[in-house]
Amino acid sequence: MISFVNDYQEGCIPEILEKLQKYNYCANPGYGVDCICENAKKLIKQTVNAPDADVHFITGGTLTNKIVINAFLKSYEGVICVDTAHIATHETGAIEHGGRKVLTVKNHNGKILPSQIESIVNEHIGGLSREHTVKPGMVYISQSTELGTLYCLNELKEISAVCKKHGLLFFIDGARMLTSLFAKDNDCTLANMNALCDVMYIGGTKAGALLGEALIINNSLLKKDFRYILKQNGALMAKGFLMGIQFEGLFENDNYQKYCKSAIEKADKIRMALKNKGIKLEIDSCDTQTFAIFTKEQYQELQAHFDFGGATFKEGLAYARICTSWATTEDSVNALVTAIERL
């Protein structure tokens, strides 16, 4: 059984494993003020070309989203996002548990339009209701999106401009940002995305780290006392150097590039095989996620040898997500491609 269930099913890239051994008996200061973390932060700031940014490491995406939105919005401000956004659908109400309202608009291929931001701001700020509605205070997007699509640079610029116009913070969830850099539709660099937002994070977990997201705070108004906030939210790890190791491992010598590129190439290969076979895609995704629509029979046949983590069945069709990762092997992909060809 070969698994294409998700992009976080394996451990970490070998460079990180080596570092774990190399540093294992070093005595590091606790709570992330060690020199491994410092070096990892330096590498990230260089990569995103933001020497003045503050970088913090947090164990996972939901915790990062919850902390950022709770900390940077006032209690009566809301965060705008699409209805398919991770914070709206897959975090068990973490944002609301943290006291903030999520204001959703209908997604367009997983993405938000600048005009939708304008509309929701106008509905909330203008009108007769005044202080009876929350004030929009932030725009949240995921790059790549939950549907595997990508914002192009121009779209990001437009969103950034609308945010500036209305005094909204712009927050980019980059859980899959590193791999999606290598997607065919991508025209962004880490640096130019980071230059457009107040705060963003680069996911380590889905790019070949054992854990961790690297949060980059650009807006200087948001930097103060952030370690207090981390500690209060249970996000300041005693062995903080563990996360330093992850990001040093990813960014040293740009190690992440070959692994992320590989993950995307594998996904592209699968998409090509599906297309050649005439199997429709639910969404025209370009990251490590492929959303295929099989017949029930096709799905059952593949299921004998490949694990997609289940499917949703509607009207005789099986909607399945096929996911590659930094660790997906050439052999695995070839096996799947062959199986698709034989369907």
In the Cβ-directed half-sphere of 149, how many Cα atoms lie within 13 Å?
17
Q: How much is the CA Rg of the chain, to the nearest whole Å?
A: 21
The residue among 286, 252, 212 whose CA lies nearest residue 12 is: 212
DSSP H helical ranges for the chain: 14-22, 35-47, 61-72, 86-89, 94-97, 114-125, 153-166, 177-180, 190-194, 226-232, 241-251, 255-277, 296-303, 330-341
Q: In the range 99-158, which residues lie near a second copy by CB under 8 A?
A: 99-102, 127-135
47 binds a second copy (CB under 8 A): no
Which residue, 187 or 307, has its beta carbon nearer to a second copy? 307
93 binds a second copy (CB under 8 A): yes
Instruction: Indicate the helix (H) or strand (E) that contains 294.
Output: strand 289-295
Can you read off the two tokens belonging to residue 157? 């610029």
Q: Of the listed pieces 8-16, 145-153, 261-269, 333-341, which binds a second copy according to CB under 8 A?
A: 8-16
Site string for a second copy, 171-210 (x = CB under 8 A): ----------------------------------xx---x
Q: Which amino acid is at 140?
A: Y
Which residue, 117 or 230, has its beta carbon nearer to a second copy? 230
Using the Cα atoms of residue 65, residue 140, residue 227 and residue 196 in order, give the sign of their dihedral.
Answer: positive
Q: Least distance in Å: CB of 338 to a second copy?
A: 19
78 binds a second copy (CB under 8 A): yes
Q: Least distance in Å: CB of 130 to a second copy?
A: 8
Residue with the two structure tokens 């799905």: 299
Q: Least distance in Å: CB of 225 to a second copy?
A: 6
Helix axes 330-341, 255-277, angle to 10 degrees: 10
Interior angle at CA 322, CA 16 and CA 298, nearest 5: 150
The residue among 110, 102, 191, 95 whose CA lies nearest residue 143 is: 110
Q: Least distance in Å: CB of 275 to a second copy?
A: 25
* Burial grade of 180 (CB within 10 A; 0-12, 13-18, 19 or more): buried
Q: Of the listed pieces 12-20, 43-51, 179-187, 289-297, which binds a second copy according to CB under 8 A?
A: 12-20
219 binds a second copy (CB under 8 A): no
Do residues 133 and 140 make contact, with C-beta atoms less than 8 angstroms apart?
A: no
Which residue, 160 or 289, has its beta carbon nearer to a second copy? 289
Q: What is the SS3 assignment for 7? A: coil
DSSP state for residue 108 in the 8-state scheme = B
Can you read off the two tokens belonging to residue 295? 């017949």
Which residue in 52, 74, 304, 315 binds a second copy (CB under 8 A)? Answer: 74
Which residue, 205 or 298, has its beta carbon nearer to a second copy? 205
Q: In the range 247-306, which residues lie near a second copy by CB under 8 A?
A: none
DSSP state for residue 216 in the 8-state scheme = E
Which residue, 39 or 133, has its beta carbon nearer to a second copy? 133
Q: Of the listed pieces 72-80, 176-184, 189-197, 293-301, which binds a second copy according to CB under 8 A?
A: 72-80
233 binds a second copy (CB under 8 A): yes
Q: Least distance in Å: CB of 195 to a second copy?
A: 28
| Rounded Cα gap, residues 152 and 297, in angstroms | 37
Which residue in 75, 304, 314, 342 binds a second copy (CB under 8 A)? Answer: 75
Q: Least distance in Å: CB of 238 to a second copy?
A: 4
315 binds a second copy (CB under 8 A): no
Which residue, 27 or 304, has its beta carbon nearer to a second copy? 27
330 binds a second copy (CB under 8 A): no
